[in-house]
Amino acid sequence: MKGVSIALLLFALSAGAKTVLFVGNSFTYGENSPAHYYKPDTVTDLNGPINGKSVGGAPAFFKAMTKEAGLDYDVSLETAPGKGLDFHFSEKRDILNRSWDIVVMHGFSTLDYQHPGDPALLIKSATQMADLFRSKNPKVEIWLTATWSRADQTYPAGTPWHGKPIQQMAIDVSAGYVQAAKAAQVTGVIPLGLAWNRAISTGIAVDNPYNGIPVGKINLWSWDNYHASAYGYYLEALMAFGRVTRKDPLSLGDNETVAEDMGFAKSQTHALQQIAHDQLSTSNQLGQ
């Protein structure tokens, strides 16, 4: 009987956990960084193991942060490299079509692979996805993550944002997500790209990785100047943590375990938490 009681208690605790789903691509699962396979056993990869490996990514960072904060979240992710929300809606509805408490999602990094900077596809697909999730749970919280500027789409000649400040792509992407959030009537926008801009503008992060990394600055991009480094994915998780839990990222403290696992200096951990705090404090619900 004692074993049965413990089992029932554990079931009750599990049943009470809020379910959080992350939908995205390599920007979610942490391509080119230690985030990619970080503690995959703490989250559920809805696609299952690929070549024997499941991924953790920013969702696993988020899960660790919520656990440190004493919160109970059951975190899942569904990701596909190089894809937008239109792909997830058309190809992955079978595994997404269930009741979730909270959904955090984003599309392709340039808004539209075929038409960089054009938000029309994001607006349409975000609305379709939101309607899908609300059909199962009308009270679901849905957050759209507005992603960062890509250095590889800004500095090399012939790229869509060439000749513009590095911050401009994130500003344009953010504007597209605001439009999508209004059309889809979602909970709000996580202004991740604007947080990257803030880290660059305040001198914490480098603005042009093609020129090397000055002493004392971090590089938010990985080696391809496209995906994020561990610092960039950490900032992504901090921003999701702040929006979803409504808790201050600074409350995690300089000894936060994900940052320690990544080998960050305490000053870097604090700086990134401060950036997340400041951006979330400045932005409204739509991330503006």
Distance CA 208, CA 93 (A): 39
As a whole number of Å, the end-to-end CA separation of the chain is 55
Amino acid identity of residue 168, one-letter, is Q
Predicted local confidence at residue 72, as pLDDT: 96
Instruction: Give residue 260's pLDDT.
Output: 98
Q: Say if residues 109 and 24 touch (Cβ distance below 8 Å).
A: no
Distance CA 125, CA 186 (A): 13
pLDDT number for residue 78: 97
Decide if 288 is inside a domain.
no
Count other C-beta atoms under 10 Å from residue 171's C-beta: 16
Separation between Cα atoms, residue 260 and residue 227, nearest integer Å: 21
Give the dihedral sign, CA 17/20/21/26.
Answer: negative
Residue 247 falls within a domain, yes or no? yes
Percentage of residues in the chain with pLDDT exceeding 70? 95
What is the pLDDT confidence band of residue 16, given thresholds at 50, 70 and 90?
Answer: confident
In the chain, the number of structural domains is 1
Average pLDDT value for residue range 247-265 = 98
Is pLDDT of 241 > 70? Answer: yes
- Domain contains 124: yes
Residue 12 has a pLDDT of: 42
Residue 6 is assigned to a structural domain of this protein: no
- The mean pLDDT value for 64-90 works out to 98
Whether residue 89 lies inside any domain: the answer is yes
pLDDT tens-digit readout, 74-86: 999 999 999 999 9
> Is 8 inside any structural domain?
no
Q: Has residue 92 been placed in a domain? A: yes
Give residue 52's pLDDT band: very low, low, confident or very high (50, 70, 90): confident
Lowest mean pLDDT among 45-49, 129-133, 135-139: 45-49
**Residue 112 belongs to what domain range?**
16-282
Q: What is the pLDDT of residues 152-210, one digit of tens each?
A: 999 999 999 999 999 999 999 999 999 999 999 999 999 999 999 999 999 999 999 99
Tell me the average pLDDT of the chain.
Answer: 94
Q: Assign residue 190 the CATH number of its domain.
A: 3.40.50.1110
DSSP for the chain? -HHHHHHHHHHHHHHTSEEEEEEESHHHHTTTSTTTTSSGGGSEETT--BTTB---HHHHHHHHHHHHTT--EEEEEEE-TT--HHHHHHHSHHHH-S--SEEEE---TTS-SSSTT--HHHHHHHHHHHHHHHHH-TT-EEEEE--PPPGGGTSSTTSTTTTS-THHHHHHHHHHHHHHHHHHT-SEEE-HHHHHHHHHHTTSB-S-GGG---TT-B--B-TTSSSB-HHHHHHHHHHHHHHHH---GGGG-TT-HHHHHHT--HHHHHHHHHHHHHHHHHS-TT--
pLDDT band at 248 (very low <50, low <70, confident <90, very high): very high
pLDDT band at 15 (very low <50, low <70, confident <90, very high): low
- CA dist 75 and 54 (Å) reads 14
Whether residue 184 is contained in a domain is answered as yes
